Structure 1
Amino acid sequence: MIPVSPLDDLELALRMGDIADHITGPRFRALDLRVREKPDRTPVTDADTAVETAVREALRSARPHDSFAGEETGGSVTEGRTWLVDPIDGTKNFLRGVPVWATLIALLQDGRPTVGVISAPALYSRWWAAAGRGAWLRRGPAGSAPLPLRVSARKSLADAYLSTTSTRTWDVFHSRAAYLRLAEECWEDRAFGDFLQHCMVAEGTLDIAAEPVVNPWDIAAVQVLVTESGGACTDLRGGTPQGGTGALSANPQLHRLALKVLSTAAGPGTT
């Protein structure tokens, strides 16, 4: 197999983002949008499945030796190179007409994210990063100049702006009490949710993003974005977020402080 450069992989991921945008854009707020409920009671739309199928086929053509794992059509992370795709992160927003949703595309090499693209066409925004190449944001139409990203420099939880996805999930997967303790120590908290909060950490407009449960396709793209912007992105115990046991993004100092607070949880379901 011919070696592929990180920039070639990034360029491919950006092209996959274009493919996704061409599908999701016309289906957003479409009157004939089809929605069904998956066994875990989360919704999936015809746009989700169309994006994942199109991206999977395009990647199979461009990188036939790579593995693929997606939220809707399955697959698993293997040794070597695996592409991860979340066709629409924020499906509930998408089907309700809320513009906060995005396609997430990431490349894992031996389990480590090396390329990430987060494309949010309804927000006119696209974030991307590659290992050793920095993190970037393009806001506006294609062709707009990208901006380099850097996490905030705040040092104290008392000055930190915190976000999560849903406080209800903390009851099930970690500890609502632990999250509320963290919120009480921070300057302010909101629920920007999903991909957006981690992207905002990478931008430096938000200081901490914390959620108690993630899937690999939820976190891989934003993990490399946060890391390349100078931050840390781990699970709630300081390990890899690929294991599903939550995600915590922040600058290194706030990350250490937030981990300490969250570690006081007694266990899942603690209130």
Structure 2
Amino acid sequence: MVTVPGYANDLTLAAQLADAADKITTARFGALDLAVRRKPDRTPVTDADTAVEDAVRALLSEHRPADTVAGEERGGSVPDTGRAWVLDPIDGTKSFLRGVPVWATLIALVDGGEPVVGMISAPLLGRRWWASDGDGAWVRDHAGERRISVSAVAELSDAYLSTTDLGSWAEHHSRERYLALVDACWETRAFGDFWSHCLVAEGAIDLAAEPIVNPWDVAAAQVLVTEAGGVFSDIHGRPGFTGGSALSANSLLHSPALELLREPGK
């Protein structure tokens, strides 16, 4: 892995945390004795989710005892000042449960309220993405390790768009506004969750939009997309990972996409 000064030591640690997570998730993927329960918001959580978060928290307690930790399964909040690690042990738990290999562990370091390190590891896809403040965005896959950047597509009519679930737009924003964006774009898919934003950072697709997210879903994605030269905001145009929704794009498409997603009178 290429590292440079700044947050290099934190990036190296994030890779070690991802290695530990990968060992747990790959061992539990497809396990017949996988324990599953539903959280109050009806989303599933498995014994693998909690085992990963516990393992990562233990390593952080050893290596960064002064830092705050906030995770999907064990709680915690991200302060406006100081350093906080933000964890999603398995992003894409529904896929994990069904035997679909599109899931990842997301690890971010937030410093002073801004994500400065992002690590996204998808072992069954054979891919890992990472970025740190000022040092670019990177991916490692079967072809090796390389720096990545967003696309240069300039028109929505030529753009490739992805979301997570069409049904969530009706519940959390506006199905009609999302379909207006769909109609304006060249091609649409639902790669879902972390992968949509990673593909934007790679320049493989041009837009990723989600009407509802939690901070741990997108903190790592924010630094990856912005370090790849893209723009990351919520679907109302407010920058950052705490707005409850997400839109990532190259700088040419972000504003036109926001205009179509905006509800009349808002």
Moved more, 234-243 or 206-215: 234-243
Q: CA deviation at 1:5?
A: 3.8
SS at match of 2:263: coil
Q: CA deviation at 1:223?
A: 0.5
Aligned to 2:107: 105
Aligned to 2:77: 76
Moved more, 166-175 or 42-51: 166-175
The answer as to whether partners of 1:178 and 1:265 remain within 8 angstroms in 2 is no
Q: CA deviation at 1:110?
A: 1.0
Q: CA deviation at 1:55?
A: 0.2
Normalising by structure 2, we get a TM-score of 0.95
**Amino acid in structure 2 at the alignment position of 1:109:** D
Q: CA deviation at 1:62?
A: 0.5
The answer as to whether partners of 2:118 and 2:223 remain within 8 angstroms in 1 is yes
Aligned to 1:116: 118
Moved over 2 A (4+): 240-245, 264-267
Distance 1:266 1:214, change over 3 A: farther
Total equivalences in the alignment? 261
| Partner Cα distance (2:97, 2:146) in 1 | 30
Normalising by structure 1, we get a TM-score of 0.94
Q: CA deviation at 1:266?
A: 5.8
Q: CA deviation at 1:118?
A: 0.3
| Partner Cα distance (1:122, 1:89) in 2 | 13
SS at match of 1:22: helix
Aligned to 2:36: 35
SS at match of 2:90: strand
Identity value in percent: 59
Moved more, 169-178 or 7-16: 169-178
| Partner Cα distance (2:18, 2:242) in 1 | 25
The answer as to whether partners of 1:103 and 1:118 remain within 8 angstroms in 2 is yes
| Partner Cα distance (1:191, 1:58) in 2 | 34
Aligned to 1:255: 254
Aligned to 2:47: 46
SS at match of 1:17: helix
| Partner Cα distance (1:25, 1:34) in 2 | 15
The answer as to whether partners of 1:116 and 1:129 remain within 8 angstroms in 2 is yes
Aligned to 2:189: 190
SS at match of 1:77: coil
SS at match of 1:75: coil
Distance 1:183 1:266, change over 3 A: farther
| Partner Cα distance (1:266, 1:54) in 2 | 47
Give yes or no for the alignment of 1:18 onto 2:19. Answer: yes
The answer as to whether partners of 1:104 and 1:118 remain within 8 angstroms in 2 is yes
User: Structure 1: which 5+ residue stretches go unaligned?
Assistant: none
Q: CA deviation at 1:243?
A: 2.4
Aligned to 1:7: 8
Aligned to 1:214: 213
| Partner Cα distance (1:265, 1:96) in 2 | 38
Moved more, 30-39 or 151-160: 30-39
SS at match of 2:144: coil
Q: CA deviation at 1:168?
A: 1.1
| Partner Cα distance (2:192, 2:117) in 1 | 22
Aligned to 1:85: 87
The answer as to whether partners of 2:200 and 2:248 remain within 8 angstroms in 1 is yes
CA RMSD of aligned residues (A): 1.3
| Partner Cα distance (2:112, 2:167) in 1 | 33
The answer as to whether partners of 1:114 and 1:130 remain within 8 angstroms in 2 is yes
The answer as to whether partners of 1:131 and 1:224 remain within 8 angstroms in 2 is yes
